[in-house]
Amino acid sequence: MAVNLPEAALAHASEGAFVLLLPTDAYIAGGVASVALTVLLIALVPEARAHGMFGARRIASAGRWRGQMVTSALSAVLLLWAVSQGLAGTQDPVRNPLPLLVWSGMWLFLLSGQGVLGDLWGWLSPFRMTAALPGLFGLRPLLRYRPRWGYWPALLGYLAFAGVLMVHIAPTDPDRLAVMVLGYWGWTLAGCLLFGPRWLLRGEGLTLLMRLFARLAPLRRQGGAWRLGLPGWELERRAAPALSLAVFMLLTLALGSFDGLNETFAWLGWIGMNPLEFTGRSAVVGQNLAGLLLAGPLLVAVYGLSIKAGLVLIDAGGFRQSFRALAPAILPIAFGYHIAHYLPAALVEGQSLWNLLRTLLGLPEIPVTTGFFNRQASVRVIWLSQAGAVVLGHVLAILMSHAAAIRLHASHRRAALSQAPLALFMVLYTLFGLWLLASPRGA
Amino acid sequence: MTEIPSKTKTGLISPTRRGALKTLAAGAGAAATMPLWARYTSAQSAAPIKIGFGKHATGIGAAYGRWYERTSVAALAKINAEGGINGRPVELVTEDDGTDPRRAAEVLEKFANQSDCDVAFGTLFSHVVVGAAPRAGELKLPYFVVSEGHHVASGMLNRWTLQPGITDVKSQISAMAPFLTGTLGKKVTMIYPDYAFGYDHRDNLAPAIEAAGGEVVAKIAIPPTETSFTKYFPQIPRDTDVIYHVMIGPAVLTFVKEMGEFFGPSRPEIFGFIDSLEATDLTSPGLEFLDGTYFWEGNPRYLQADAPDYVKAYRDAVGLDENGASVSDPSDVSTSAHMFGCWETLHIIKAGMEAAGYQSTADRQKLVEAVEVMSMMEAGPAHPQGTKMFNGKTHQVFGPQYISKVEGGKLSVVKTVPYEETIYPDEVDYTSMSF
* Residue of B107, B109, B125, B225 to mutate for A, most A C-beta atoms under 10 A: B225
Average pLDDT over residues A26-35: 96
Give Cα B64 to chain centroid, integer Å. 12
Question: Which residue type is seen at A11?
Answer: A
Q: In 3-state terms, what secondary structure has residue B373?
A: coil
Looking at chain B, which residue has its C-alpha nearest residue A94?
A: B57
The answer to whether A82 and A360 are in contact (CB under 8 A) is no
Going by C-alpha positions, the residue among A94, A71, A18 that lies closest to residue A380 is A18
Higher-confidence position of B217 and B10: B217
Strands (E), A195-262: 219-222, 225-229
Looking at chain A, which residue has its C-alpha nearest residue B193?
A: A276
**CATH superfamily assigned to domain B171-297:** Response regulator (3.40.50.2300)
Distance CA(A435)–CA(A425), nearest Å, equals: 15
Would you place residue B222 in the very low, low, confident or very high pLDDT band (cuts 50, 70, 90)?
A: very high
The answer to whether A387 and A340 are in contact (CB under 8 A) is yes
Partners of B333 on chain A (C-beta within 8 Å) are 371, 374
Average pLDDT over residues A177-197: 96
- What are the boundaries of each domain within chain A? 1-56+246-443, 67-228
Residue B20 pLDDT greater than 80, yes or no: no
pTM: 0.90
* Residue of A25, A172, A374, A376 to mutate for B, most B C-beta atoms under 10 A: A374
Nearest CA to CA, how far is A371 from chain B (Å)?
Answer: 4
CB pairs under 8 A between A and B: 193
Least confident among A267-281, A312-326, B297-311, B382-396: A267-281
Would you place residue B122 in the very low, low, confident or very high pLDDT band (cuts 50, 70, 90)?
A: confident
Looking at chain A, which residue has its C-alpha nearest residue B327?
A: A367
The model's pLDDT over B295-346, given as tens digits with 9 standing for 90+, comes to: 999 999 999 999 999 999 999 999 999 999 999 999 999 999 999 999 999 9
Find the distance separating the first CA and the last CA of chain A, reported in whole Å.
12
Q: A8: exposed, middle or buried (C-beta count within 10 Å: 0-12, 13-18, 19+)? A: buried
Give Cα A25 to chain centroid, integer Å. 26
Residue B13 pLDDT greater than 60, yes or no: no
- What are the boundaries of each domain within chain B? 6-167+332-399, 171-297
Residue B4 pLDDT greater than 50, yes or no: no
Tell if the CB–CB gap between A92 and B94 is shorter than 8 Å.
yes
- Note the pLDDT of residue A49: 82
CA angle A109, A428, A45 (to 5 degrees): 90
Looking at chain B, which residue has its C-alpha nearest residue A11?
A: B60
For the CA atoms of A357, A362, A368, A372, the dihedral, rounded to the nearest 10 degrees, stands at -70
- Note the pLDDT of residue A278: 86
| A20: nearest CB among B64, B101, B251 | B251
Residue B412 pLDDT greater than 90, yes or no: yes
Average pLDDT over residues B220-239: 95
Average pLDDT over residues A169-188: 96
- Note the pLDDT of residue A4: 33
Would you place residue B44 in the very low, low, confident or very high pLDDT band (cuts 50, 70, 90)?
A: low
Distance CA(A351)–CA(B126), nearest Å, equals: 29
Would you place residue B109 in the very low, low, confident or very high pLDDT band (cuts 50, 70, 90)?
A: very high
Element (H, E) at B122: strand B119-122
Distance CA(A155)–CA(A205), nearest Å, equals: 6
- Note the pLDDT of residue A443: 64
Residue B405 pLDDT greater than 90, yes or no: yes
Nearest CA to CA, how far is A3 from chain B (Å)?
Answer: 5
Tell if the CB–CB gap between B95 and A11 is shorter than 8 Å.
no
Partners of B285 on chain A (C-beta within 8 Å) are 18, 21, 376
Neighbours of B34 (CB within 10 A): 16
Tell if the CB–CB gap between B250 and A20 is shorter than 8 Å.
yes
Distance CA(A209)–CA(A158), nearest Å, equals: 8
The answer to whether B278 and A12 are in contact (CB under 8 A) is yes
Tell if the CB–CB gap between B224 and A275 is shorter than 8 Å.
yes
Tell if the CB–CB gap between A442 and B250 is shorter than 8 Å.
yes
Q: Which fold has domain B6-167+332-399?
A: Rossmann fold (3.40.50)
For chain B, give the number of residues.
435
| A280: nearest CB among B63, B99, B193 | B99
* Residue of A168, A173, A270, A349 to mutate for B, most B C-beta atoms under 10 A: A173
Residue B31 pLDDT greater than 80, yes or no: no
Parallel/antiparallel/unpaired status of strands B325-326 and B269-273: unpaired
| B127: nearest CB among A4, A14, A277 | A277
In SS3 terms, A295-361 reads as HHHHHHHHHHHHHHHHHHHCCCCCHHHHHHHHHHHHHHHHHHHHHHHHHHHHHHHHHHHHHHHHHHC
The answer to whether A44 and A403 are in contact (CB under 8 A) is no
Nearest CA to CA, how far is B147 from chain A (Å)?
Answer: 14
The answer to whether B193 and B221 are in contact (CB under 8 A) is yes
| A369: nearest CB among B95, B275, B332 | B332
| B326: nearest CB among A13, A265, A367 | A367
The model's pLDDT over B249-304, given as tens digits with 9 standing for 90+, comes to: 889 999 999 999 999 888 999 999 998 898 888 988 878 899 999 999 999 999 99
Residue A243 pLDDT greater than 60, yes or no: yes
B431 Cβ contact partners less than 8 Å away, ≥ 6 residues apart: B159, B372, B392, B393
For chain A, give the number of residues.
443
Would you place residue B32 in the very low, low, confident or very high pLDDT band (cuts 50, 70, 90)?
A: very low
Residue A1 pLDDT greater than 50, yes or no: no
Partners of B57 on chain A (C-beta within 8 Å) are 3, 92-94, 172
Average pLDDT, chain A: 92
* Residue of A3, A5, A7, A20 to mutate for B, most B C-beta atoms under 10 A: A20
Distance CA(B181)–CA(B262), nearest Å, equals: 24
| A374: nearest CB among B195, B251, B333 | B333
% chain A with pLDDT above 90 = 84
Nearest CA to CA, how far is A86 from chain B (Å)?
Answer: 12
Average pLDDT over residues B82-111: 95
Partners of A167 on chain B (C-beta within 8 Å) are none
Nearest CA to CA, how far is B115 from chain A (Å)?
Answer: 10
Residue B12 pLDDT greater than 70, yes or no: no
Tell if the CB–CB gap between B110 and A91 is shorter than 8 Å.
yes
